[in-house]
Amino acid sequence: MRDITERRQLQRAKAMAEVSADLHRRKDEFLAMLSHELRNPLAPIANAVHLLRLQQHEENPVQRQARAIIERQVAHLSHLVNDLLEVSRITAGRIRLQCEQIDVRAILERAAESVRPLVAQHRHQLKVELQTEPVWINADPVRMEQVIVNLLNNAAKYTEDGGRIWLRLRTVGGEAVVSVSDTGPGIPPDLLPRVFELFSQAERSLDRSQGGLGIGLTLVQRLVELHGGNVEAHSAPGKGSEFIVRLPLAQGPASERPGPEAATKSGTALRILVVDDNLDQAHSTAMLLGSSGHAVRVAHTGPTALDVAAEFEPDVVLLDIGLPELDGYEVARRLREQPRFRNLRLVAITGYSQESDRRRSRAAGFDHHLVKPVDLQKLQEVLPAAPIANSP
């Protein structure tokens, strides 16, 4: 007789590990597809709102109100999609920061501007108090802006209409200290110790008027910790809430670098090819770029994109990845193989947002990877300041 208990336990453990790995793989594939499918319809809607905003001087009051409603709700839905996918990646340890030396004041200003529509909707007063001198940190600007936007969104949602919100920045010792406070009802004492836990929420009424998934603060905490900082919450019932983010200071750059707006102030027209199989997305993007004075052509399949590029010789190609016949990765590789397109600016405009998608786009030759729906300002930031000669 032999005791095979240990061997059988090892076999079961191995089988369970294989099942778990397969479930994680399928979950990743599902999230990637979910991201793509949710972002694709959001992108042309966001573009259409941008186009309407360009014509706001011709709007009547009803049109202006309708546009504002669409704008707020698209921003809200985009925010929910981003949080849902980001927290999944972070909890699985699959997120990478793209850190650089940045002045945190610029991040706070952009975050405050992002939440202006929600603040205006609730008739809040948002006061931003920043230092006059630069405050340098080593951080991923996109992720850090996401942190501040989440905190400001929470303050706006959970504060009664007509309330006040403060966004403050100061330096204490070797840290940049950012605080977001409000005059809301405060956090219940039983919830405060676990406010950063996933899906942790106060009891809601059936109408769920304040919305949210209970993942925003979890995302804030994980992202801040990835930057080597910490976040804490302070509150008392009826006396509002305050969230304090502390981040290590960094030494400022030796010389001033041009801001992201440098490429958008030249006013130089570019030749831009927009490639997307979603007709609404392609044509709304083309209309936006055309309204800025650029020469724009559109293609809806990979082979057509290659043909149009050969004839049009664009300075920039905004290329969707999930194309029929020939996907965006292959189109990018074939363009890069041609000497005349060696200086071409290739920008992925896609619903695929995972880190593996970004690595794959870099390997295919893309210069930038933007996730739908793309804000017009962010799109302008990746455009070159002047036309690029695509000659050998």
**100-248: which CATH architecture?**
2-Layer Sandwich (3.30)
Please check the confidence at residue 237 and state whether its pLDDT lies above 80: yes
If you average pLDDT over residues 248-257, what whole number do you get? Answer: 69
Residue 245: per-residue pLDDT = 97
Of 67, 186, 165, which is closest to residue 123 (Cα–Cα)?
Answer: 165
Q: Return the minimum-mean-pLDDT range out of 14-18, 59-63, 85-89.
A: 85-89
If you average pLDDT over residues 48-72, what whole number do you get? Answer: 81
11 to 5, 7, 15: CA distances (angstroms): 10, 6, 6
Other CB atoms closer than 10 Å to residue 61's CB: what's the count? 7
Q: Which residue has the higher pLDDT, 329 or 87?
A: 329
Query: What separation, in Å, do the N-terminal and C-terminal C-alpha atoms of the chain show?
Result: 78
Q: What is the pLDDT of residues 16-36, one digit of tens each?
A: 888 877 776 676 666 666 666
Compute the Cα dihedral for 354, 355, 356, 362 and give only its sign.
positive
Q: What is the pLDDT of residues 371-389, one digit of tens each?
A: 888 877 778 888 876 555 4
Which residue is associated with the tokens 């990979």? Answer: 302
For the chain, give the percent of residues with pLDDT over 70: 82
Residue 207: per-residue pLDDT = 39
Using pLDDT thresholds of 50, 70 and 90, give the confidence band for residue 198: low
CATH number for the domain formed by residue range(s) 260-381: 3.40.50.2300
Q: Which residue has the higher pLDDT, 107 or 202?
A: 107
Q: What is the pLDDT of residues 263-294, one digit of tens each?
A: 333 456 899 999 998 888 888 888 888 888 88
Domain boundaries, the chain: 13-91, 100-248, 260-381
Q: Which residue has the higher pLDDT, 163 or 57?
A: 163
Q: Which residue has the higher pLDDT, 177 or 322?
A: 177
Please check the confidence at residue 86 and state whether its pLDDT lies above 60: yes
Other CB atoms closer than 10 Å to residue 177's CB: what's the count? 17
Peptide bond preceding 117 in cis form (omega within 30 of 0): no
pTM equals 0.55
Q: What is the pLDDT of residues 100-133, one digit of tens each?
A: 899 999 999 988 988 888 898 889 999 999 988 8
Residue 228: per-residue pLDDT = 94
Residue 202: per-residue pLDDT = 52
Please check the confidence at residue 177 and state whether its pLDDT lies above 90: yes
Residue 377: per-residue pLDDT = 76
**Token duo for residue 11:** 């076999």
Residue 166: per-residue pLDDT = 96
Residue 89: per-residue pLDDT = 64
The total number of residues shown for the chain amounts to: 392
Residue 347: per-residue pLDDT = 94
Rounded CA gap, 280 and 392, in Å? 35
Q: Return the minimum-mean-pLDDT range out of 12-21, 180-189, 228-237, 288-297.
A: 12-21
- Looking at residue 351, what DSSP letter applies? S
User: Contact at 8 Å (CB) between 359 and 95?
Assistant: no
Rounded CA gap, 43 and 47, in Å? 6
Of 372, 362, 360, which is closest to residue 36 (Cα–Cα)?
Answer: 372
Residue 263: per-residue pLDDT = 36
Q: What is the pLDDT of residues 294-338, one digit of tens each?
A: 899 999 999 999 999 999 999 999 999 888 888 999 999 999 999
Rounded CA gap, 184 and 241, in Å? 7
Q: Which residue has the higher pLDDT, 374 or 150?
A: 150
